[in-house]
Amino acid sequence: MTPSAIQQATATYFGVELEDLAGRSQSPSHNAARHVAMYLEHEAGYSYAEIGRLYDRNHSGVIAACRHMRERVAKGDERYLPAVNAISAAVKVSREKRLESTKIRELDQLCCPTCGSPVIRELQRRVSELEAIVKGVSP
């Protein structure tokens, strides 16, 4: 999970603008979205300092937000737990779709545009046929 994917999914879930996540607004909806995003980014392996730079915040503020979220999630808070689960799932699905799309593009590059058969296998087959002919014809 990348920070940008987490931020996009969080902004969409909470109905806020991306700029509001890194902004200075202390409105409850902006704070909730910001705290969820910071928490998920830390859970994804980013350091407090890295997350702080993303939000123009001191790492101690990120620590407090993550601690707050960890406590809320552990208690099964009905306001935050569904958000954390939904955003995590959305980011995961988005990542899987990107990976699948990348794999399809890679395979398309290896496939013959005319017949759809993999070019590499077709070339290997033709090379084998030519080698057999050359061996059979050569003295």
User: Per residue in 84-94, pLDDT tens?
Assistant: 888 888 777 55
pLDDT score, position 49: 93
Strand partners, 111: 118
Q: What CATH number does the domain located at 3-101 have?
A: 1.10.1750.10
User: Per residue in 96-138, pLDDT tens?
Assistant: 655 566 665 565 566 565 665 666 666 667 777 777 777 765 5
CA distance 63 to 13: 23
pLDDT score, position 139: 43
CA distance 30 to 24: 9
pTM higher than 0.75: no
Asked if residue 17 has pLDDT above 80, the reply is: yes
| Structure tokens that stand for 46 in this block | 């980013």
Asked if residue 38 has pLDDT above 90, the reply is: yes
Could you please report the per-residue DSSP string of the chain? --HHHHHHHHHHHHT--HHHHHS----HHHHHHHHHHHHHHHHTT--HHHHHHHHT--HHHHHHHHHHHHHHHHTT-TTTHHHHHHHHHHHHHHHHHHHHHHHHHHHHHHB-TTT-SBHHHHHHHHHHHHHHHHHHH--
pLDDT score, position 50: 93
Q: Please answer whether residues 85 and 93 qualify as being in contact, where contact means their C-beta atoms are separated by less than 8 angstroms.
A: no
Contact partners, residue 29, CB within 8 Å, separation at least 6: 14, 15, 16
